[in-house]
Amino acid sequence: MNKRIRFVLMTLLLLLLFSSCTPVADKELQEELEAKNEIITSLERENKELEDRITELEQEVSNNPIDPESNNLLYTASKVVNLLKNKDMEGVSAYVHPSKGVRFSPYGTIDVESDQVFIQNQVAELLSDSQSYTWGNYDGTGDPIDLNYNDYYNRFIYDVDFANPHMIGNNVAIGKGNTLNNITEAYPNGEFIEFHFTGYEAKYEGLDWKSLRLVFEEDNGIYYLIGIVHDEWTI
């Protein structure tokens, strides 16, 4: 067999081989494409279902908005302490318990019998109230704390910048001294946030600490202010 004939035969053989394999290759490619199309279709369907669910949830949120002020203790306390910082007593009054009012305590020992208690509308007017009240007794001397609200505020509420404290305690008392802290006994159903300053001057070795505890009571998912407790080192 000469070279020419051999070449022709080889060419025919190759043509037959390719002609027999091409349909198989095309079929496999078609099957692969169909499988990928099915995956794409499935993913598109899942994506549409997720988009529909997101739309449904957004509608639920729109119809039933979540108010973080009404269900978050720390958030609510932060709002109140900033209102106190700005002397916005009308704003503070919106958080006061509607039936129990709010009790003011100058030191960590809460006197449920004699500490001053004000209801919502009274709290809103405290800033313009010039009347002198007896808020308790001074540590050390035992003299009555006879002050109007503004003077009491400057000494026993916002005597340091409690809105920017060194530490925050969530139902944990940080400041501890000689005074009995009876917050859990005075408010058995309450929860509190403590805004605490560890001290200012090294020579006092931390005895010049200050704390402001805001006490709340939860009712139907809403935290109401029921106590404003100032605390510091006492003799």
Q: So where are the chain's domains?
A: 1-65, 68-232
- In the block, tokens 């900033």 appear at 82
pLDDT interval class at 70 (50, 70, 90) = very low
Q: Does the pLDDT value for residue 65 go beyond 80?
A: no
Query: H-helix or E-strand containing 43?
Result: helix 3-63
The letter for the amino acid at 66 is I
The answer to whether residues 217 and 227 touch, using CB atoms and an 8 Å cutoff, is no
At 161 the pLDDT is 97
The answer to whether residue 64 scores a pLDDT higher than 50 is: no
Tell me the pLDDT tens digit for each residue of 114-141: 999 999 999 999 999 999 999 999 999 9
**In Å, how far from its chain's centre is CA 21?**
68
pLDDT-wise least confident of 47-56, 129-138, 142-151: 47-56
- CATH number, domain 68-232: 3.10.450
Answer whether 96's CB lies under 8 Å from 123's CB.
yes
DSSP 225: E
Q: Where are the alpha helices (DSSP H) in 64-159?
A: 68-71, 73-85, 89-93, 120-125, 149-156
Examine the pLDDT at 1 and tell me if it is beyond 80.
no
pLDDT at 22 over 90: no
pLDDT grade, residue 182 (50/70/90)?
Answer: very high
Q: Tell if the pTM clears 0.85, that is, is over it.
A: no
Distances (CA, A) of 225 to 72, 103, 181, 191, 228: 13, 9, 19, 10, 8
> What is the C-alpha to C-alpha distance for residues 211 and 198, in angstroms, rounded to an integer?
9
Q: Which helix (H) or strand (E) holds 31?
A: helix 3-63
Q: Give the pLDDT mean for 96-108.
A: 98
The whole-number average pLDDT for the span 182-188 is 98
pLDDT band at 209 (very low <50, low <70, confident <90, very high): very high
